[in-house]
Structure 1
């Protein structure tokens, strides 16, 4: 009798022979990795400091000078080059429209000493919109948020940030939704190019956008809107396109049988059924735009990023904390509003209708909001928030005029106490990591001859990712060498690797803990969600207070920024291990430690690889921001090139080098995950699915 081999249950443990084969392959890789590192260390000791391609901070190569010359030629051709003239014209129109909005609701509209609609009218309209699109709870959240913007002394900056963010989101929706429809309904021509461009946009550190965008769109609001648009566009294309692809083929076939046209299929079936996913894409686009609009302060874009940047440059922790917290509050407000609006829209699509009393309340409150708009145009206390605070102090004795500064002073006092109390501990942590790991690894990477380091990287990439890893490493190292910043690139790579190691330690500890305890997951997951909402600038504030301006500050800030996404990926991967597999391991008497190390972690390997990949890319995105607080290397080069026109070429080369590092590392990680000698087809499929699920929410969740 012939016995047919049954197909293993998804998530079930692989057969013993396959397990032994994988273990043997992994052991061989560890041995070869050790040999490569040993040879590398020997060559480093012999040729220490030779051919390292070190370049002084203010030194330039012919390539850097050529890039600076390119910038000068673009600026000189503003009136003669049709493309440059077009981009500047677009930038001027964006600036004009944003300025008009600003004069309407945030800044004075000369000769009127106040905006056309004062703060009271703006608050009333925003609160009414919150209730109209969502519910009473959201209306209260919007009300509290807008009042906080003014009470803490940042009304104008907050509204300007909101203008830049929403303008970029509006353009992203107008461009992104048609592309998402094409991307998600079977479009073939150019889809590969579109996917590659989105990968580059999401891999590239956000700061790197600023240089070329300023070159073609000028400085100020226009540059802020455009760079925010570039960063915010991929999420809505990916997520909305994914929602359209998920519409059941059976449903489409059933409706097609009635003779509908492709337009009717799109508008009557696909878009309504993908509405919830499209709104999630919109939510992610708003969060990404808000995060980037803060960084746009570097190009003189208005908003809360400007006071944060000023405070960080003067090491004013309290002064940076207050606007930083307002950014977080704005992110929470927008996130909760779009989420609640999507739920309400979904309920309406299922036949739900507003009760009569709600329609009456909307009509009455709309009249009240319009009346408050009139009041805000008539009375000075309702037009300018400063006047309102002064009026409140004189009439009711409530002094809120110094609330922002008092809060900043309180934050300074708290951090000074923490710094003085735990100075020994923080210094010990910094010294242990610096002298035990950071310095030795940096010496090995940057003080070995460049070709030795390059060959070592290529060899290990080939070992991990076979031919695709080899090609990625060769192309990446060649480009790093070509842009003449090899030494700085190795120093940056060292900091990125150390930060990624710290991220994965946190991810393994807390991810496994969350997966094995519902209570821990219930407590930590909202904190991780909030951590992914906070713009990267804000992470620098407490770390800067604890560790001062050093490269270690940049590493810790990058670790804290990247940890939430890695922790969630590890937790989700561990949670996805089959319960049958766990029961089988427990029946053999496996201890908790054995169950984690021998079953759960190996079975969740694709999630661990993806967590490492995403954590590393998040860390890399903090490189330039870290350059502001003593990180040096490529981050410093990029910031200096942005600040000084004569350094533009070197800064541009640094930005491109950061992108090359990110793409090279990303491709090597993907090649390692897809290596047929180490991963089964199931793990490869899990990698692809996990990456697809996660791609749209890279900035925030």
Structure 2
């Protein structure tokens, strides 16, 4: 590649970084160190005063009032129109789930088996996959359904599939109109985005509290909480796809005189089909991720089996249903994607002939009819034959876990003690044992240094909310655990992300593992973590790292990959070593991706706060769990949940503002740059 000199191009004056931070001669990290140093000095002088800490089970007036509100609502279920409406909606979900359960998963008395047995359901699913996708997906679907029965979890797997189907169907019915709305109106987009941010920032356990209050427990609560978690992806992604249909195409349809609905149905939706299917796939993944959490409100499905294993600390018994949840997620994701690709090929005229299509439909229909007949009248086809496969796998997993604990217990204990003593305890002491007003001022100053005024305002509002809710001390303990976990997540993300970006072979090996890590329910890997590290805050941190790291690693890898190859080659031509190439070129140029990875890592870690409370994490996570399990602590749980939401909003806005400030600073630097630069000739 030859190198030429190009005269510098003058950037428009309007892109000059306008903020105070963009003009600082002292770098932001130096100002941050100044703030932290001053905070440490004040902490050393005033440690333990005005911390707002209180004994664990002490209630406040606000918690008692909220608990009273909960009791009043429950007492007025027969007269309160709002409660009657929500319970009516919940009853509709219960009826739908119950009908589908009696159809395919549980005995429809007086029949001792479902209306359609395992063979009929499996062949019907394979036939549908063959018709809407291809034979490879049909084989995958068949193998997946057989595995549900082979490992002894047929009924639970069908229950999970039913809850997922109902929740995703409602999500599509509600989400697609909203997606169309935000795609056609910027004002609607701004308003809905705020709500979606709140829904995605809020940890899932937090909204279990109001869901149980207004919808009861069981299938209704399971469908509603799954719906809340699964709704944002279809709205965001489908709305994005519809909004970004080629403007040239839209102008052509306008000039042809098409109405809004004609343009939507004939142009925008077909052209955004692939993006909409991505949104549907993400909605399905989100719904399955709620499987175990929904079990906390007596939701049916494989999550109940995982939860029971967690309560008895039976790792093998939790591994098998957890692995089947992953199998179901892969099956549904691949089927949705393949169906979309096939539909697109047919629309372009590249599908099979009409005769072939009719033949496939005919064969699938005939096979399904025969299988349903057999499953209704023959016991072997109605109830999956019992076998010991699941128990044998569980025993092997338990044996392997025992070996791991015996072999690596000393190492994991040393790691736990080192990080706890060297990092977690000092940070927790600084945050929770400083006077609350000192900690608040320091956090506000750090937010301003990192993200400017855009971070300052939401930080002040969220900290004020934490103080008013009277959960300051527990919030600071939770924040310390979150920061430690996020720091470790980003360390993994930078190391593995750069490695993946620089080696295609490593990317091919690691990416499927990362996809599986994002699909596996958190409770599944909580079991081996508990075995290795025991109860405590560090266990909660490790579980949060496992949950948050895959997303952060992929973001860093994609960001480093996006660095122009010409830039990397230019650095090599100047004699840069590999270390210099990574630290001086790739990571600085991927800074916005690093900030985004940090943002997502923080939010994912916060989403695990409540689950961490189940394994000794304490603080806000324990408060939320206590309120779910004990109705007299409902107010405490509600306030702790709101505190987690405020923490999530605060860290989200700080990191987003930091990303915006980074971009503004980069543009300002480019605008002021006057050096000649090498460019590749074409």
Give the TM-score, by structure 1 length. 0.91
Secondary structure of the 2:614 match is helix
Q: 1:678, CA displacement in angstroms?
A: 6.4
Structure 1 residues 676 and 371, CA gap change in structure 2 (3 angstroms): closer
Secondary structure of the 1:206 match is coil
Q: Aligned pair 1:580/2:578, yes or no?
A: no
- 8 Å Cα contact 1:145/1:330 also seen in 2: yes
Q: Aligned pair 1:275/2:273, yes or no?
A: yes
- Could you tell me which residue of structure 2 aligns to residue 312 of structure 1? 310
- Could you tell me which residue of structure 1 aligns to residue 676 of structure 2? none
- Which of 569, 584, 595 pairs up with 2:581? 595
**Following the alignment from structure 1 to structure 2, what is the Cα–Cα distance between the partners of residues 113 and 347?**
45
Q: 1:141, CA displacement in angstroms?
A: 1.1
**Following the alignment from structure 1 to structure 2, what is the Cα–Cα distance between the partners of residues 682 and 108?**
69
- 8 Å Cα contact 1:25/1:677 also seen in 2: no
**Following the alignment from structure 1 to structure 2, what is the Cα–Cα distance between the partners of residues 678 and 187?**
27
- Could you tell me which residue of structure 2 aligns to residue 200 of structure 1? 198
**Cα-to-partner distance string for 1:268-291 (whole Å, 9 max, x where unaligned):** 111111111111111111111111
- 8 Å Cα contact 2:497/2:557 also seen in 1: yes
Secondary structure of the 1:234 match is helix
- 8 Å Cα contact 1:117/1:376 also seen in 2: yes
- Could you tell me which residue of structure 1 aligns to residue 9 of structure 2? 6
- Could you tell me which residue of structure 2 aligns to residue 445 of structure 1? 431
- 8 Å Cα contact 2:494/2:553 also seen in 1: yes
- Could you tell me which residue of structure 2 aligns to residue 493 of structure 1? 479
Q: 1:536, CA displacement in angstroms?
A: 2.3
- 8 Å Cα contact 1:503/1:562 also seen in 2: yes
Aligned residues: 660
**Following the alignment from structure 2 to structure 1, what is the Cα–Cα distance between the partners of residues 138 and 665?**
50
**Following the alignment from structure 1 to structure 2, what is the Cα–Cα distance between the partners of residues 347 and 8?**
45
Structure 1 residues 32 and 6, CA gap change in structure 2 (3 angstroms): closer
- Could you tell me which residue of structure 2 aligns to residue 436 of structure 1? 422
- Could you tell me which residue of structure 2 aligns to residue 463 of structure 1? 449
- Could you tell me which residue of structure 2 aligns to residue 514 of structure 1? 500
Q: 1:189, CA displacement in angstroms?
A: 4.7
- Could you tell me which residue of structure 2 aligns to residue 97 of structure 1? 96
- Could you tell me which residue of structure 2 aligns to residue 638 of structure 1? 624
- Which of 220, 223, 227 pairs up with 2:221? 223
Structure 1 residues 605 and 584, CA gap change in structure 2 (3 angstroms): same
- Where structure 1 has 5 or more consecutive residues not aligned to the other structure, the ranges are 10-16, 390-400, 685-701
- Where structure 2 has 5 or more consecutive residues not aligned to the other structure, the ranges are 1-5, 671-682
- Could you tell me which residue of structure 2 aligns to residue 235 of structure 1? 233
**Following the alignment from structure 1 to structure 2, what is the Cα–Cα distance between the partners of residues 677 and 149?**
49
Matches within 5 A, 1:474-623: 474-623=460-609
**Following the alignment from structure 1 to structure 2, what is the Cα–Cα distance between the partners of residues 432 and 676?**
34
Q: 1:375, CA displacement in angstroms?
A: 1.1
Q: Aligned pair 1:346/2:347, yes or no?
A: no
Structure 1 residues 291 and 26, CA gap change in structure 2 (3 angstroms): farther
Q: 1:147, CA displacement in angstroms?
A: 1.1
Structure 1 residues 676 and 105, CA gap change in structure 2 (3 angstroms): closer
Secondary structure of the 1:49 match is coil
Structure 1 residues 328 and 682, CA gap change in structure 2 (3 angstroms): farther
Comparing 75-84 and 104-113, the one that deviates more: 75-84
**Following the alignment from structure 2 to structure 1, what is the Cα–Cα distance between the partners of residues 186 and 124?**
44
Q: 1:599, CA displacement in angstroms?
A: 1.5
- Which of 413, 416, 433 pairs up with 2:399? 413
Secondary structure of the 2:290 match is helix
Structure 1 residues 632 and 676, CA gap change in structure 2 (3 angstroms): closer
Q: 1:516, CA displacement in angstroms?
A: 1.5
- 8 Å Cα contact 1:240/1:281 also seen in 2: yes
**Following the alignment from structure 1 to structure 2, what is the Cα–Cα distance between the partners of residues 513 and 27?**
32
**Following the alignment from structure 1 to structure 2, what is the Cα–Cα distance between the partners of residues 592 and 39?**
38
Q: Aligned pair 1:661/2:647, yes or no?
A: yes
- 8 Å Cα contact 1:551/1:631 also seen in 2: yes
- Could you tell me which residue of structure 2 aligns to residue 689 of structure 1? none
- Could you tell me which residue of structure 1 aligns to residue 673 of structure 2? none
**Following the alignment from structure 2 to structure 1, what is the Cα–Cα distance between the partners of residues 252 and 668?**
32
Q: 1:362, CA displacement in angstroms?
A: 3.1
Q: 1:534, CA displacement in angstroms?
A: 1.9
Secondary structure of the 1:341 match is helix
Q: 1:4, CA displacement in angstroms?
A: 8.5
**Following the alignment from structure 1 to structure 2, what is the Cα–Cα distance between the partners of residues 651 and 285?**
27
**Cα-to-partner distance string for 1:104-125 (whole Å, 9 max, x where unaligned):** 1100111111111111111111
- Could you tell me which residue of structure 2 aligns to residue 36 of structure 1? 35
- 8 Å Cα contact 1:105/1:118 also seen in 2: yes
Structure 1 residues 678 and 253, CA gap change in structure 2 (3 angstroms): closer
**Cα-to-partner distance string for 1:417-469 (whole Å, 9 max, x where unaligned):** 01101111111111111111011111111111111111111111111111122
**Following the alignment from structure 1 to structure 2, what is the Cα–Cα distance between the partners of residues 205 and 319?**
26
**Following the alignment from structure 1 to structure 2, what is the Cα–Cα distance between the partners of residues 602 and 189?**
35
**Following the alignment from structure 1 to structure 2, what is the Cα–Cα distance between the partners of residues 168 and 293?**
12
- Could you tell me which residue of structure 1 aligns to residue 249 of structure 2? 251
Structure 1 residues 682 and 280, CA gap change in structure 2 (3 angstroms): farther
**Following the alignment from structure 1 to structure 2, what is the Cα–Cα distance between the partners of residues 682 and 632?**
45
Structure 1 residues 677 and 366, CA gap change in structure 2 (3 angstroms): closer
**Cα-to-partner distance string for 1:461-512 (whole Å, 9 max, x where unaligned):** 1111111222122111111111111111111111110000000000100111
Question: Which structure carries more relative contact order (alpha carbon 8 Å, separation 6+)?
Answer: 2
Give the TM-score, by structure 2 length. 0.93
